A and B are shown apart, each in its own frame.
Chain A
Amino acid sequence: MRAVISVIGKDTVGILAAVSAKCAQYNINVMDVTQSVLQDMFVMVMMTDISKINIAFADFVDELSELGKEKNLSVKVMHEDIFNAMHNI
């Protein structure tokens, strides 16, 4: 099972490290990372493998959302299927 973590906001030091640390803490494997800057906004998208996650997925969603709030960023974790459903036939 895979999930997409998206981080959108003003670029600050240590975003990637903070999100990756959370992933490591909960046994989530980061498979792919892309970063870009769109109109002054920092955008990072991570594809992760959550099949060995050691916390309830919903709690992980909350925890990253909290992390985002602390750093004034929008951090979302969404199941991969929503993107597959919308963009692939």
Chain B
Amino acid sequence: MINTKDILETITMIQDEHLDIRTTTMGISLLDCCHSDIDVVCRKIYDKITKYAENLVKTGEQIEKEYGIPIINKRISVTPVAMILAACDNRDAVKIAVTLEKAAVACGVNFLGGFSALVQKGFANGDKELIDAIPEALAVTEHVCSSVNIGSTKTGINMDAVKLMGETVVKSALATKDKNCIGPAKLVVFCNAPEDNPFMAGAFHGAGEPDCVINVGVSGPGVVRAALAKSKNLDLTGVADLIKRTAFKITRMGQLVGTEASKRLGVPFGIVDLSLAPTPAVGDSVAHILEEIGLDCCGAPGTTAALAMLNDAVKKGGVMASSHVGGLSGAFIPVSEDAGMIDAARNGCLKIEKLEAMTAVCSVGLDMIVIPGDTSAATISAIIADEAAIGMVNSKTTAVRVIPAIGKKVGEELSFGGLLGSGPVMEINNVSPAKFINRGGRIPAPMQSLKN
């Protein structure tokens, strides 16, 4: 029998502490949509997505109602489009992006990910065409998200792709300069990209995945912070234990919603992504957890250690709560999407170099960071290379999602609205890495032993 205290705890978590299911994402394989004629491909893609995901939003809303837990986003991820594009005679990737947009709107989802290419070792047919089309594709669509994997622990880093992606980020910002540079906010550059990630903008449906699958991403920074606020005198052993127990409860919600959605949609259940995903709402911030643990401001010395502990405890608690774990699984630190991070960046306590260090101990990377609009493509490429190197050497996923704010300088603000939030333009080191980036080639895969 459930007792009243437990019932009230759950209700308080949902009502006052922003506990929610961040996303249920339906992964759909497009491999059977390949055809030499791109118009046929577009038709097949539209038909398949709208057929499979027809009831995704409706089912999510039913579950929300019955269980009383909000499911904030319903999303779709598809096979990396570059793989489908490879078969076409005319590789006009923008055409496919527009088709994906139409399908996303028809299904009522708020994002569709998978305008992607995997080029960690080199470019296959379709890859370059897709990357070249990213700026236009993200400018003419609203819901389509793009990602490119440029490195992995097993392959090393494709520095030609790194160079290309730095340029693509700049072009993408320029192409959307009248829309608050929203383009690069929908573009993620990965190292070790997971194939079952339900979170945007980096979600895509990997080639090893089944035809269709439901993945769930949980959230709940507010719940963790509230639990810590009630237990002020714990030592760090106690803090870690409390985070574990809280993460367990949060993740059980994800497991329940995932299995229920999978049953009702008749689609296999993939994974729960054990993540603390913040939103710009007050009380839903990962930075505030770190501050609750004892830092005056996120970014202060001690931030990396506190975050490492938080990230590890979330995983330990979450793993036991779910049958299959995958995706990014860790605490997210997107600057513009986290009220505490925004404040810390504004007051100068949180700098990009500290953020880079933090990404070595948590998921995912330099995420939603607004940088000056005049930052060179080579500098952005170098930021990508640094971040990819951290991922490659530490066998973890890292990513870069920086937004050059065209026409803006350090200290000014850029606002996207909604879940993407807003953020101050952060200062970056502008000493030129151009010669390094222009060398091209590949950084060889790292040693997996002699770990020092």
Which residues of chain A are near B10, meaning CB under 8 Å? 82-83, 86-87
Query: What is the chain A residue whose CB lies nearest that of B259?
Result: A85
Residues in A68-89 with C-beta less than 8 Å from chain B:
74, 76-88
Shortest distance from the beta carbon of A72 to any chain B beta carbon, whole Å: 15
Contacts A8-B11, A74-B15; A83 near B69 (Cβ below 8 A)? no
Contacts A6-B11, A85-B255, A86-B252; A78 near B4 (Cβ below 8 A)? no
Q: Is A42 an interface residue (CB 8 A)?
A: no
Which residues of chain B are near A86, meaning CB under 8 Å? 6, 10, 249, 252-253
Could you tell me how many residues of chain A have their Cβ less than 8 Å away from some Cβ of chain B?
Answer: 26
Which residues of chain A are near B252, meaning CB under 8 Å? 85-86
**A interface residues, Cβ below 8 angstroms from B:** 4, 6, 8, 34, 36, 38, 43, 45, 47, 57-58, 61, 74, 76-88
Residues in B10-44 with C-beta less than 8 Å from chain A:
10-11, 15
Q: Is B295 an interface residue (CB 8 A)?
A: no
Q: Top 7 A-B pairs ranked by shortest CB distance?
A: A78-B68, A85-B256, A87-B6, A82-B67, A85-B252, A83-B2, A58-B65
Which residues of chain B are near A78, meaning CB under 8 Å? 11, 66-69
Interface centre among A76, A77, A86 (most CB of B within 10 A): A86
Q: Given A76-B11, A78-B68, 16 other A-B contacts at CB below 8 A? A: A6-B8, A38-B8, A45-B4, A57-B65, A58-B62, A58-B65, A76-B68, A78-B67, A79-B67, A82-B67, A82-B68, A83-B2, A83-B10, A84-B2, A85-B255, A86-B249
Residues in B235-287 with C-beta less than 8 Å from chain A:
249, 252-253, 255-256
Which residues of chain A are near B66, meaning CB under 8 Å? 57-58, 61, 78-79
Shortest distance from the beta carbon of B2 to any chain A beta carbon, whole Å: 5
Query: What is the chain B residue whose CB lies nearest that of A80?
Result: B2
Interface centre among B6, B67, B69 (most CB of A within 10 A): B67
Docked complex Cα distance between A85 and B69 (Å): 13
Shortest distance from the beta carbon of B77 to any chain A beta carbon, whole Å: 25
Residues in B56-94 with C-beta less than 8 Å from chain A:
62, 65-69
Contacts A6-B11, A58-B62; A83 near B68 (Cβ below 8 A)? no
Which residues of chain B are near A84, meaning CB under 8 Å? 2
Q: Is B450 an interface residue (CB 8 A)?
A: no
Q: Is the CB of A85 within 8 A of B253?
A: yes
> What are 28 residue pairs bridging A and B, where the CB atoms are less than 8 Å apart in the complex?
A8-B11, A34-B4, A36-B4, A38-B8, A43-B4, A45-B4, A45-B8, A47-B2, A57-B65, A57-B66, A61-B65, A74-B15, A78-B11, A78-B68, A79-B66, A79-B67, A81-B67, A81-B256, A82-B10, A82-B67, A82-B68, A82-B69, A85-B253, A85-B255, A86-B10, A87-B2, A87-B9, A87-B10
Contacts A82-B253, A86-B252; A77 near B68 (Cβ below 8 A)? yes
